[in-house]
Amino acid sequence: MLTESSWSKILKIVDEYVSETEKTEFTCELNPEDVSEELLDDISVAGVNRISLGIQSMDEVAQKVLARCPPDANRRAAKLVKDRFSNVSFDVLLGVPNRPIGSLVSTLDELLASPPAHFSVYCLEPGGDVGERVERFFDAVDVGRSAEEYLLVCDRLETAGYRHYEVSNFALPCKESRHNRVYWEGGDYVGLGPGAHSYLFGKRFSNPPSLESYLARAGGQLEVGRVYDNATPAELEVERVMLGLRTDRGVAVKSLHCPDGEISAILEGGLGVVHEGRLRLTARGYLVLNEIILRLSRYSRD
């Protein structure tokens, strides 16, 4: 929705704060139906060198269920993007109701025939916000089926050479998303615009959620919105464990304040492994990530 003029204005401001040597990854997220040669020309000139494309599925019926563009639009967009950019990520959605698992297999087969550098894989959840047109399908989401599809995708992508570096993200060697890494490794980031969140100097900030309230605060200098800086030590411990276990780096076993039996149960259940003193989860462990986080961090709250 941004014009070339809008891109120029934004980049002029960003350039004041980011040096040329720091511009190593500039990602733009695109809907397939919006992709055109003209748009790709504009963002390429603007400095974009990584594209995240919302494919979701290559199944015609699944795309209708999701109120998304038809597969042919995905194919056209994917070709245009891959012809111009070497660093491309595809989004794939699991758990689409009433679709056979063969639908997902076919999607993977087609996407891997001309493989992108990166995949982001998400599960459609009951009650999720994907628009009124598909709200009637929420109750039809089968969590067990979604888990089966997730394990299938994990196995397929890892076999194809992708590193499962975060619960929902897979990358070819050296193609991990830098902004994803920043979030999970607790680095600083700035979110600009209505509803955006930032993390700076150990504090979390959020901007007003509506455009009107956001613009009302803008002037010579935008006033920062709500500040989250009152986390308790126990809450920080939960966050530390959560961020670590979301990635393949895991957490140091010595840093966990829990009985050895808790970790043994994870290992014996095939939910995790310990390597070089760090606990990292398997694909099956990621399926029960929240439960594991709560079990491992609860002793810090006692």
Residue 152, classified by CB atoms within 10 Å of its CB into exposed (0-12), middle (13-18) or buried (19+), is: middle
Three-state secondary-structure class, residue 206: strand
pLDDT of residue 207: 83
Whether 27 shows a pLDDT value over 90: the answer reads yes
Q: What is the pLDDT of residues 121-159, one digit of tens each?
A: 999 876 555 445 555 555 677 889 999 999 999 999 999
Please say if the pLDDT value at position 161 is more than 90: yes
Q: What are residue 252's DSSP bridge partners?
A: 278
Question: What pLDDT band is residue 201 in, cutting at 50, 70 and 90?
Answer: confident
From CA 170, how far away is CA 179, in angstroms rounded?
A: 14
C-alpha–C-alpha distance, residues 91 and 55, integer Å: 5
- pLDDT at 37 > cutoff 70: yes
Average pLDDT over the chain reads 87
CA dist 45 and 50 (Å) reads: 13
pLDDT bucket at 87, cuts 50 / 70 / 90: very high
Among 28-42, 86-100, 101-115, 121-135, the range scoring the smallest mean pLDDT is 121-135
What pLDDT sits at residue 302?
Answer: 46
Place 4 in a pLDDT band, splitting at 50, 70 and 90. confident
pLDDT digits (tens, 9 = 90+) for 272-297: 999 999 999 999 999 999 999 989 98
Query: Among 4-8, 81-85, 123-127, 221-225, which range has the highest average pLDDT?
Result: 81-85
Q: Where are the alpha helices (DSSP H) in 193-232?
A: 211-217
Quick one: tokens of 57? 């599925």
